[in-house]
Amino acid sequence: MSTAATSPDAAAGGNAGTVGLGAEARVFFGYGSPRIMGTLSLAAIGVRLGLGHWSLADLAVCGGILIVEPFLEWMLHVFGLHAKPRMVLGRKLDPLYARRHRMHHRDPRNVPLVFVPLPVLAGFIATLLAVSYFAFGPWQLKFTALATMTSFLFGYEWTHFLIHSPHVPRSRVFRAVWRAHILHHYKNEKFWFGVTNPIGDYVLRTFPAKESVPTSPTARTLGVDDEFTLLGATS
């Protein structure tokens, strides 16, 4: 795997193709994390529909999650996925999600590396279940929150996969999202942290004009020289 920086335009050209969404969906659902996310999301939606008793509180819960999501996505990307190994009490701390993300940056077109690792997904789902249960009162709102958050999680996985797939974005909105993420991988890893949307980047000032920032020599390594360690990793 080369760690040399590649231009965003070259990366876009390398991804160019005419693969349709149906074909990409078949590849997508061939992996475990999308199936788990999709099943959980559909189950939560089904339970919520069965509970009934809709109110404005459901709209408030959905709206609140919609507002928070871009900033949570930004924070998890910056402080979680881009976390560097460090020593804590004499032991090296380098979580699986950070290691896998460095592998993903080194080889952005490697499809399995696009997906959330299953152990990380298990922890994430446990967190969403806990937040839904403890942060909201009636069962209706608990499942409104869970259905909304798991749907966002599934949407994140699908969007991220599609960005790294050979599919050529046609809509203006998705092409903008696609291009920003390509810039994050091939131009400068310190900017364009949003995956599903750029709102967090705009508000937190990490969405510069492409020409205003230099091409980073560490876009592929994230500043950690551990390629051989990652090549030998089995997780």
pLDDT digits (tens, 9 = 90+) for 103-156: 999 999 999 999 999 999 999 999 999 999 999 999 999 999 999 999 999 999
**What is the spatial distance between Cα 220 and Cα 11, in angstroms, rounded to a whole number?**
13
| Biggest CA-to-CA distance, the chain | 56
Q: Comparing 189 with 17, which gets the higher pLDDT?
A: 189
- Please determine, for residue 175, whether its predicted confidence score (pLDDT) is greater than 60: yes
Q: What pLDDT is recorded for position 1?
A: 43
Strand partners, 91: 88
pLDDT, residue 226, reads 74
Q: What is the pLDDT of residue 7?
A: 53
How deeply is 112 buried, as exposed, middle or buried, from its count of CB atoms within 10 A (0-12, 13-18, 19+)? exposed
Domain ranges of the chain: 8-231
Name residue 93's beta-bridge partners: 86
**Cα angle 21, 176, 1; round to 5:** 75
CB 102 within 8 A of CB 222: yes
Round to whole Å and give the CA distance between 221 and 5: 9
Instruction: Give the per-residue pLDDT at 20.
Output: 86
Residue with structure tokens 């364009």?
A: 192
pTM, to two decimals: 0.89
Please, how many CA atoms are within 13 Å of residue 219, restricted to the half-sphere of its CB?
A: 24
Contact between 195 and 71 under an 8 Å Cβ cutoff? The reply is no
Place of tokens 């020409």: 211
Please provide the average confidence, as pLDDT, over all residues in the chain.
91
9 or 129, which is more confident? 129
Give the pLDDT score at 159. Answer: 97
In the structure encoding, which two tokens stand for residue 44, read together? 């939560």
Quote the pLDDT of residue 15.
Answer: 47
pLDDT at 233: 53
